[in-house]
C-alpha cells in the first residue's frame, strides 16, 4: 500500500489506476460490517424479497418485504439525534475521533455507527399499498423522483417518491415475480419508458409508462416466467428466464419477437451454427430447471443466468458467426439453488476493478463471490452468529469503488458487507512523509519502494497490512 501511495504521489501511477487496484484488493477482504448500520430485525422477521439502490446519488435504498411493507432508507442520514448538553456533545466528538483511529472495518464514515442506527426515511406499512408480499422494487433510472413496486397481489404500482404515494396501478391478474425498467433516450424528441414483467403467465408483459397501459406481450415460454432483464445498450432488446428451463432473447419491435433461445449444449461456433438461432428446435434448455436469475454486463456482451439445476452459466451474446454460446465457465460445486423464486445475481461494475465479480446467494445462507471471467471463488460471505444459515433473498450494490453490498435476508435483516480498509493511522500522506504513524522520509524509501511497486502490477494482488514497510 505504501508503494502504491508513493507511485501515485510521484505521478507514476494514475489516480484511476490506483483506485482500481485498491478496489480490487477490497473484494478479497469483504466482511460483515460491525456494527451494522441497519437496525436489528428492521423488517420484523419478514423476508426482504427485494432491495434497490438508486444510481444517481447512491444514497437512497428501497426494501420490499414478504409482509407487503416497504421502506425507504437514506444511507447518509436518517438518524434521530439524542438530547444532550454541551459536555456530552464534546465527549461524543472526542470519542468519535478516538474510534476513528481504532476502527478497522472502515465503517466510521457513517457517523450512525457511533450515535445509533439508520431509521427509515419513509415506511409504507403492510397491507396498505399491497395486500400480499412485495416481490420486486425498482428505481426509475434517471432520477430518484419515481420508483415502482411489484407484488404477489397481481399489481405493479408506480410511486411518487416525494409524496410517498402510488400514482398509478397496473392490475395484471397474475402473481408478479420480477420487473425491469427500460428508460432509453433515443433522441431529443423520443424516449422509451417500458416495464418488462415476469409473472405466473407463460409470456412477458410490457407496460408503457407514457400511456399507462399494457403495450405488448411476448409469448413463447411454457409455464410461468420468473426472471427478466433489459439489454443495457439496446433499448428494444431484453432477456427472460422461465419455469421451463429456457432463456430467451427478444426484440420488442418485431412481430416474431424471439431472437434466440439459449442452448446449454451449444458450446462452440460449429455446433451453434447448425440451427442459427435455435428457433426451429422443439426443446432447447438453458438450464435443467427453472431459470430464476439473469444479469447482463454493462456492454451487453455477456449474459449470466442461474437455474434450479445449481448452475451458473455465462453466454457470449456478440459472436458474429453463431447465436449465444455457452462459454462453459465453471463456478464450482458450492452453488445451491432449489427455490422457485427470483434469485439475486449481482455483477460488480466493470470500471471499478480489473476483473468483474459476480455475487450469488446460495441456499445454504452463504453469499458466494466469484471472478466473473473464470468462475474462481474469491470469498464465501457468512453471517456471524446463529443466523449464519439464513438464506439471502436480495442483494444491492452500494456505491462506486467502495466494495460495499447490502443483503436482505429471509429473517427480516439487512446485512452490510464491505471490504476491509486499513486503519487511518496506517497511512499518513503529507508533504514530507509517506508511511507509518511516526512518519517516514519519502526520500529514504525512493528506489526500494519504486521496486516494490512491481508487486502490485498484478491486478489480483491481496496486500497484507503487516508486510508493508
List the 291-296 sheet strands across, edge first.
291-296, 302-307, 312-316, 325-326
CB atoms within 10 A of CB 103: 18
Residue 79 banded pLDDT, cuts 50, 70, 90: low
For residue 63, give the 3-state DSSP assignment.
strand
The whole-number average pLDDT for the span 182-191 is 63
Residue 385 banded pLDDT, cuts 50, 70, 90: confident
For residue 232, give the 3-state DSSP assignment.
coil
* pLDDT, tens only, 341-374: 999 999 999 999 999 999 999 999 999 999 999 9
Instruction: Write the DSSP symbol of residue 191.
Output: B
The whole-number average pLDDT for the span 99-103 is 45
pLDDT for position 375? 96
Per-residue pLDDT for 453 more than 80?
Answer: no
What is the percentage of the chain residues whose pLDDT exceeds 70? 75
Distance, CA of 251 to CA of 109 (rounded, Å): 45
Per-residue pLDDT for 157 more than 50?
Answer: yes
CB 171 within 8 Å of CB 154: yes
pLDDT for position 300? 93
Per-residue pLDDT for 95 more than 50?
Answer: no
Which residue blocks in 104-153 are alpha helix, DSSP H?
Answer: 112-115
| 391, HSE (Cβ side, Cα atoms, 13 Å) | 16
Terminus-to-terminus CA distance in the chain, angstroms?
9
pLDDT for position 203? 94
Per-residue pLDDT for 340 more than 50?
Answer: yes
pLDDT for position 117? 83
Buried b (16+ CB within 10 A) or exposed e, 452-464: bbeebeeeeeebe
The whole-number average pLDDT for the span 254-259 is 86
pLDDT for position 147? 97
Q: Give the torsion through C-alpha atoms of 297, 298, 299, 303, to 10 deg.
A: 20
Q: 214 pairs with which residues across the strands?
A: 207
CB 285 within 8 Å of CB 245: yes
Chain mean pLDDT for the chain: 82
Strands (E), 265-413: 291-296, 302-307, 312-316, 325-326, 345-347, 357-361, 367-371, 377-381, 392-397, 404-409
Distance, CA of 419 to CA of 369 (rounded, Å): 12
Whose CA is closest to 325, among 241, 259, 263? 263
User: In degrees rounded to 5, what are phi and psi of residue 408?
Assistant: -95, 135
Distance, CA of 164 to CA of 146 (rounded, Å): 9
Cis (ω within 30 of 0) for the bond into 100?
A: no
Per-residue pLDDT for 223 more than 80?
Answer: yes
Residue 168 banded pLDDT, cuts 50, 70, 90: very high
* pLDDT, tens only, 49-63: 999 999 999 999 999
Residue 84 banded pLDDT, cuts 50, 70, 90: very low
CB 60 within 8 Å of CB 70: no
Count the helix, strand and coil residues of the chain and give each as a percent rounded to the nearest 5. Answer: 15, 35, 50
Domain 49-361 sits in CATH at 2.130.10.10
* Range with the poorest average pLDDT among 43-57, 217-231, 415-429: 415-429
The whole-number average pLDDT for the span 284-309 is 96
For residue 53, give the 3-state DSSP assignment.
strand
Residue 320 banded pLDDT, cuts 50, 70, 90: low
Whose CA is closest to 126, among 149, 147, 144, 146? 149
Residue 94 banded pLDDT, cuts 50, 70, 90: very low
Which element (helix H / strand E) includes 259? strand 258-261
CB atoms within 10 A of CB 215: 14
Whose CA is closest to 370, among 362, 359, 361? 359
pLDDT for position 66? 96
Distance, CA of 111 to CA of 108 (rounded, Å): 6
Residue 77 banded pLDDT, cuts 50, 70, 90: confident
Distance, CA of 258 to CA of 204 (rounded, Å): 11
The whole-number average pLDDT for the span 1-5 is 75
Per-residue pLDDT for 467 more than 50?
Answer: no
Residue 212 banded pLDDT, cuts 50, 70, 90: confident
Domain residue ranges of the chain, discontinuous segments joined by +: 1-31+422-469, 49-361
The whole-number average pLDDT for the span 1-19 is 81
| 103, HSE (Cβ side, Cα atoms, 13 Å) | 18
pLDDT for position 321? 65
Amino acid at each position: 500500500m505504501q508503494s502504491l501511495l508513493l507511485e501515485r504521489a510521484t505521478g507514476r501511477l494514475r489516480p484511476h489506476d490506483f483506485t482500481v487496484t485498491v478496489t480490487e484488493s477490497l473484494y478479497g477482504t469483504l466482511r460483515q460490517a460491525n456494527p451494522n448500520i441497519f437496525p436489528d430485525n428492521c423488517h420484523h422477521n419478514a423476508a426482504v424479497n427485494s432491495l434497490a439502490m438508486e444510481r444517481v446519488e447512491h444514497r437512497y435504498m428501497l426494501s420490499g418485504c414478504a409482509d407487503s411493507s416497504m421502506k425507504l432508507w437514506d444511507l447518509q442520514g436518517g438518524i434521530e439525534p439524542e438530547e444532550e448538553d454541551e459536555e456530552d456533545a464534546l465527549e461524543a466528538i472526542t470519542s468519535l475521533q478516538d474510534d476513528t483511529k481504532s476502527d478497522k472495518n472502515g465503517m466510521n464514515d457513517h457517523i450512525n455507527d457511533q450515535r445509533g442506527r439508520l431509521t427509515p426515511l419513509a415506511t409504507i406499512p403492510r397491507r396498505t399499498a399491497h395486500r400480499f408480499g412485495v416481490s420486486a422494487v425498482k428505481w426509475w433510472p434517471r432520477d430518484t423522483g419515481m420508483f415502482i413496486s411489484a407484488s404477489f397481489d397481481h399489481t405493479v404500482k408506480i410511486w411518487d417518491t416525494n409524496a410517498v404515494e402510488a400514482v398509478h396501478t397496473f392490475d395484471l391478474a397474475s402473481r408478479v415475480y420480477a420487473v425491469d425498467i427500460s428508460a432509453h433516450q433515443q433522441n431529443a424528441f423520443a424516449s422509451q419508458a417500458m416495464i418488462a414483467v415476469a409473472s405466473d403467465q407463460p409470456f412477458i408483459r410490457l407496460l408503457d409508462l407514457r400511456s399507462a397501459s399494457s403495450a405488448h406481450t411476448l409469448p413463447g415460454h411454457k409455464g410461468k416466467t420468473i426472471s427478466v432483464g433489459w439489454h443495457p445498450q439496446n433499448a428494444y432488446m431484453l432477456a427472460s428466464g422461465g419455469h421451463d428451463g429456457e432463456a430467451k432473447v427478444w426484440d420488442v419491435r418485431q412481430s416474431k419477437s424471439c431472437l434466440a433461445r439459449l442452448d446449454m449444449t451449444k458450446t462452440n461456433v460449429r455446433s451453434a451454427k447448425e440451427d442459427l438461432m435455435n428457433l426451429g428446435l422443439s426443446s432447447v434448455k438453458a438450464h435443467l430447471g427453472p431459470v430464476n436469475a439473469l444479469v447482463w454486463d454493462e456492454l451487453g456482451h455477456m449474459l449470466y443466468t442461474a437455474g434450479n439445476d445449481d448452475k451458473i452459466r455465462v453466454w457470449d451474446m456478440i459472436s458474429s458467426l453463431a447465436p449465444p454460446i455457452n462459454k462453459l465457465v465453471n463456478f464450482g460445486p458450492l452453488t445451491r439453488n432449489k427455490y422457485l423464486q427470483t434469485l439475486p445475481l449481482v455483477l460488480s461494475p466493470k470500471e471499478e476493478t480489473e476483473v468483474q465479480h459476480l455475487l450469488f446467494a446460495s441456499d445454504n445462507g452463504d453469499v458466494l463471490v466469484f471472478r466473473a471471467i473464470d468462475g474462481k471463488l474469491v470469498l464465501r460471505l457468512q453471517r456471524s452468529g446463529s443466523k449464519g444459515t439464513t438464506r439471502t433473498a436480495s442483494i444491492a450494490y452500494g456505491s462506486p469503488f467502495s466494495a460495499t453490498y447490502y443483503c436482505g435476508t429471509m429473517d427480516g435483516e439487512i446485512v452490510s458487507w464491505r471490504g476491509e480498509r486499513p486503519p487511518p493511522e496506517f497511512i499518513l500522506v503529507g508533504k514530507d512523509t509517506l508511511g507509518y504513524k511516526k512518519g517516514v522520509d519519502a526520500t529514504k524509501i525512493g528506489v526500494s519502494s519504486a521496486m516494490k511497486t512491481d508487486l502490485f502490477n498484478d491486478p489480483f494482488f491481496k496486500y497484507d497490512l503487516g508486510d508493508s514497510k
